[in-house]
Amino acid sequence: MSSFPDIFRFNLGQYVDQFVKWLMTDYGEVFDAIASGILSLLVSTEKILLWLPWWLVLLGILLLGWKAINIKAGIVFSLSLFLVGTFGFWDLMMMTLAIVLASVIISLVIGIPLGVLTAYSDRFNAVMRPILDAMQTMPSFVYLIPALMLFGMGKVPAVFATIIYATPPVIRLTDLGIRKVPKEMVEASISFGSSNWQTLLKVQLPQALPTIMTGINQTTMMALSMVVVASMIGARGLGLEVLRAIQRIDIAKGFEAGISIVFLAIIIDRVSQGIAERFKYPE
């Protein structure tokens, strides 16, 4: 009596399945092209990261931390990465980093132009805003579903899902950054006979850069958190170690993998924030 009646069963999934199949047959090439594009970027990033000698990476992080924040931060960062190496996670960390980097690059390539467009066109902004709002309220693993449907299991859907999840902040902040460029500055540019492109490249984007950098920081952080989740659909890396440890109730491994992700997150956050800070102009 109290259970939901079977006669109301609606096989929505079936139709979605059909729709995806239709997409794959009719637009298969498009998705193949996307997939191979993502894959080649990812593979080359991964190759480079894995090829780098470990000590060089530690040295690089030391310098980066030093430049972006201070020498103490640089030392702490490289020590914590060293610690991750001692857990036996060096290569996994590099794979995670590769997915993050590849996703962030693509996110920026998509997100910054979209942000510029939303800043320029109120109509486009009206379309984008609810979409971005919705994207931000959805839990991250929901994005795994369309990725899985379109690309199956593996690295490519992981990157795809990560891109979808991580792009909104950079769109929003590019939009914000450009909108808040003082009107007089833009008018000064126009009054000298600049084209829209010149105004964008010489005035608006440089002025918006600090805000965009904040967006890049947020996008990177979201990409990292998503990469961990995306291990569920086959992205190798630190996330997968956590997932396995959970399945086996292996507290030791789980802790090591978990703390490695935390280290990575803190380093990426601080370094990119430090760099963003550098781009601020005194008011």
Partner 1 sequence: MTVKIKVENLSKIFGKNPKNVLEKLEHGVSKEKILQETGHTVGVNNVSFEVEEGKIFVIMGLSGSGKSTLIRCLNLLNKPTQGKILIDGEDIVEYDKQKLKEFRQKKVAMVFQHFGLLTHRTVLDNVVYGLEIRGISPEERYRIARENLAIVGLRGWEDHYPNELSGGMQQRVGLARALANNPDILLMDEPFSALDPLIKREMQQELLDLQARLKKTIVFITHDINEAFKLGDRVAIMKDSVIEQVGTPEEILATPKNEYIKKFVKDIDRSKVLQAKNVMFKPSTVVSVKDGVKIAINEMEQSGLSSVFVVDKERRLLGLVTIDDAIKALKENKRLADIIQENYFTTGPETYVQELIPIATKNKYPIAVVDEDKRLLGIIVRVSVLSSLV
Cα four-point dihedral sign 108, 114, 118, 124: negative
Write down the least CB distance from residue 273 to partner 1, Å.
20
Q: Which is nearer to partner 1, 23 or 190 (CB)?
A: 190
* Distance of closest approach, residue 189 Cβ to partner 1, in angstroms: 7
Q: Give how many residues touch partner 1 by CB under 8 A.
A: 21
Least distance from partner 1 to the Cβ atom of residue 41, Å: 31
122 binds partner 1 (CB under 8 A): no
Residue 275 within binding range of partner 1, rule CB under 8 A = no
In terms of C-beta density within 10 A (0-12 exposed, 13-18 middle, 19 or more buried), how is residue 194 classed?
middle
What is the rounded radius of gyration, in angstroms, for the C-alpha atoms of the chain?
A: 22
- Applying CB under 8 A, the span of 1-9, 22-30, 206-214, 250-258 interacting with partner 1 comes to 206-214
Binding to partner 1 by CB under 8 A, coded x per residue (else -) over 218-257, reads ----------------------------------------
Tell whether residue 277 is a contact of partner 1 (CB under 8 A).
no
Give the residue, chosen from 58, 209, 243, 246, that forms a contact with partner 1 under the rule CB under 8 A: 209
For residues 21 and 10, what is the distance between their CA atoms, to the nearest angstrom? 19
Task: Choose between 93 and 112: whose C-beta lies nearer to partner 1.
Answer: 112
C-alpha–C-alpha distance, residues 115 and 216, integer Å: 12
Residue closer to partner 1 (CB basis): 20 or 209: 209
DSSP 203-247: IIHHHHHHHHHHHHHHHHHHHHHHHHHHGGGT--SHHHHHHHHHH
Q: How far is the CB of 105 from partner 1 (least distance, A)?
A: 24
Which residue in 24, 201, 40 sits closest to 106, CA to CA?
40
Task: Please report where in the chains the tokens 């990426």 appear, as a residue.
Answer: 268
Euclidean distance between CA atoms 93 and 73, whole angstroms: 20
Measured from the CB atom, is 80 or 189 closer to partner 1? 189
The structure tokens listed for 86 are: 């001692």
Choosing from 85, 146, 154, 206, the residue that interacts with partner 1 (CB under 8 A) is 206
Q: How far, CA to CA in Å, does 145 sit from each of 33, 118, 156, 231?
A: 20, 27, 13, 13
Tokens 């890049």 belong to residue: 216
Running DSSP on this structure, what letter comes out for residue 139? Answer: -
Amino acid residing at 152: G
Q: Does 126 bind partner 1 (CB under 8 A)?
A: no
With contact defined as beta carbons under 8 Å apart, do 107 and 223 qualify? yes
- Cβ neighbours, 10 Å, residue 26: 9
Query: Smallest distance, Å, CB 169 to partner 1?
Result: 22
Site string for partner 1, 169-198 (x = CB under 8 A): -------------x-xx-xxxxxxxxx--x
Q: Which stretch binds partner 1 (CB under 8 A): 14-22, 205-213, 232-240, 249-257?
A: 205-213
User: Shortest Cβ distance from residue 283 to partner 1 (Å)?
Assistant: 7
Positions in the binding site for partner 1 (CB under 8 A) = 182, 184-185, 187-195, 198, 202-203, 206-207, 209, 281-283
